[in-house]
């Protein structure tokens, strides 16, 4: 039986999530924006190892419960291990989101960097909505890749020498039209939710800005450098002809593909833990209320 892809990415998931949020901003959302002041039952679609549960449960009223659903057996086992000695009420379900049937009993349905991997994200959103009680809430933490790519700065280098934003936007859009999986979905979710009947929709942007500072403590610099590396930033590109062929197959012309190879090769050479780098992921956080009246 073929291994579930994300079961092999536990280390990646564990080491990269800190790039996207400041804890105080999540606390601000829970207490000042969502104003959650009574116990709630959350369900997390594509929960992985329970990252959102770890972030949210300490901030929620006592008595709240977290249910995580994921198709990865290893992911769910790791989540159970992480939560087993924590003072929270949790349950974890191994299931393919595409096939699962859920009762309408949850106060909040959430997901994190999940819908971008779905070929039918609006159908998944419908499932999220259907399992939420009347006047419950949907919350989606999802990326907008092109804004991510526009928000890197490496001191001493023009961004255009490292990143072709126009080409990347074209590739992202082409991939989405071919496969349905959309790395830019974060900025589109407000529209999708409105079309599905959700009310009081808002979209926020995470305030996290990562700063790789060679003048800071070595441990901090090393941790951030390792997280960025694990996230794929500065990776050495594949063999030249293979790289070119794959980009051309995705819709780039030969000159665009050649330039992208040069960009990525240069970035892989200069990306060291002794450079100044700032990176703002701009994760989009969209939420609204289920109103069936």
| 196, 129 contact by CB (below 8 A) | yes
- Cα angle at 47 between 39 and 96, to 5 degrees? 120
The mean pLDDT of the chain is 96
d(Cα 132, Cα 289) in Å, to the nearest integer?
Answer: 10
Q: 16 pLDDT exceeds 90? A: yes
- Tell me what pLDDT residue 3 has: 84
Q: 2 pLDDT exceeds 90? A: no
Q: Considering the chain, what percentage of its residues have pLDDT values greater than 90?
A: 97
Over residues 47-65, mean pLDDT = 97
pLDDT digit string, tens, across residues 159-179:
999 999 999 999 999 999 999
pLDDT digit string, tens, across residues 132-147:
999 999 999 999 999 9
Q: 288 pLDDT exceeds 60? A: yes
Q: List beta partners, residue 140.
A: 111, 286
Residue 73, both tokens: 């057996």
Indicate the pLDDT class of residue 1, thresholds 50, 70 and 90.
Answer: low
Over residues 65-80, mean pLDDT = 98
d(Cα 193, Cα 126) in Å, to the nearest integer?
Answer: 9
Over residues 179-205, mean pLDDT = 97
Q: Which of 155, 8, 163 has its CA nearest to residue 72?
A: 8
Q: Which of 52, 70, 68 has its CA nearest to residue 60?
A: 52
pLDDT digit string, tens, across residues 93-118:
999 998 999 999 999 999 999 999 99
Q: 293 pLDDT exceeds 90? A: no
**Which residue's entry shows tokens 């990865």?**
72
Over residues 277-282, mean pLDDT = 96
Over residues 61-88, mean pLDDT = 97
Q: What is the DSSP letter of 115?
A: G
d(Cα 154, Cα 280) in Å, to the nearest integer?
Answer: 12
Domain 5-144+183-209+281-289 class?
alpha beta
- Tell me what pLDDT residue 172 has: 95
């Amino acid at each position: 039986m073929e291994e579930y892809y994300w079961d092999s990415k536990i280390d990646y998931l564990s080491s990269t999530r800190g790039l996207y949020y400041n804890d105080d901003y999540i606390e601000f959302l829970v207490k000042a924006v969502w104003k959650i002041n009574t116990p709630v039952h959350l369900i997390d679609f594509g929960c992985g190892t329970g990252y959102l549960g770890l972030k949210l449960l300490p901030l929620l009223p006592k008595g709240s419960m977290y249910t995580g659903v994921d198709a990865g057996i290893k992911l769910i086992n790791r989540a159970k291990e992480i939560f087993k000695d924590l003072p929270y009420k949790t349950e974890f379900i191994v299931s393919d989101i595409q096939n699962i049937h859920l009762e309408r009993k949850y106060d909040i349905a959430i997901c994190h960097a999940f819908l971008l991997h779905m070929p039918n994200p609006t159908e998944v959103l419908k499932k999220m909505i259907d399992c939420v009680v009347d006047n419950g809430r949907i919350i989606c933490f999802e990326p907008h890749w092109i804004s991510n790519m526009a928000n890197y700065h490496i001191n001493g280098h023009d961004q255009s020498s490292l990143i072709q934003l126009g080409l990347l936007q074209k590739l992202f859009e082409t991939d989405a039209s071919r496969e349905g999986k959309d790395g830019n979905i974060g900025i589109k979710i407000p529209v999708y939710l409105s079309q599905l009947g959700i009310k009081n929709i808002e979209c926020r942007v995470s305030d996290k800005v990562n700063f790789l500072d060679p003048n800071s403590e070595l441990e901090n610099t090393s941790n951030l450098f390792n997280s960025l590396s694990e996230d794929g930033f500065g990776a050495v590109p594949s063999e030249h002809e293979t790289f070119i062929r794959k980009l051309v197959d995705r819709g780039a012309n030969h000159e665009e593909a050649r330039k992208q190879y040069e960009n990525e090769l240069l970035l892989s050479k200069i990306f060291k833990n002794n450079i100044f780098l700032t990176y703002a992921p701009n994760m989009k956080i969209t939420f609204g209320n289920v109103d069936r009246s």
